[in-house]
Copies of this chain bind each other. A is one copy, B any other.
Amino acid sequence: MVRIPKSHPRYWSLLYREKIIESMEEGITAKAGLIAHGRGEAFDYLIGERTIEPAERAMKVAVAKLLLAEYPVISVNGNVAALVPRETVELAKAVNAKLEVNLFYRTEERVRKIAALLKEHGAGEVLGLNPTKKIPGLESERGKVDENGIWKADVVLVPLEDGDRTEALVRMGKFVITVDLNPLSRSARMAHVTIVDNIVRAYPRMIELAREMRDYDRKELEKIVKEYDNERTLSDVLRHIRDRLTRLAEEGIWRRERLVT
Contact = CB atoms under 8 A, between A and B. Distances in A.
Interface of A: 17, 20-21, 24-25, 31-32, 34-43, 45-46, 167, 170-171, 182, 184, 186, 189-192, 230-231, 234-235, 238-239, 241-242, 245-246, 248-250, 252-257, 259-260
A20 B42 contact: no
10 contacts: A20-B35, A24-B31, A38-B40, A39-B41, A45-B182, A170-B256, A189-B254, A189-B255, A239-B249, A245-B245
A245 B238 contact: yes
B238 A184 contact: no
A202 to B, nearest CB: 18
B42 A17 contact: no
B35 A21 contact: yes
Nearest to A45: B184
A190 B259 contact: yes
B41 A35 contact: yes
Given A38-B36, A45-B184, A249 B242 contact: yes
- Copy number in the complex reads 2
B248 A184 contact: yes
Contacts of A230: 256
A259 B42 contact: no
A186 B147 CA distance: 49
Contact of A256 (B36, B190, B253, B254): B190
A105 to B, nearest CB: 9
A32 B234 CA distance: 30
Nearest to A167: B259
A241 B238 CA distance: 11
A238 B167 CA distance: 31
Contacts of A38: 34-42
Nearest to A239: B249
A233 to B, nearest CB: 11
Residue from A186, A230, A238, A252 having most chain B Cβ neighbours under 10 A: A238
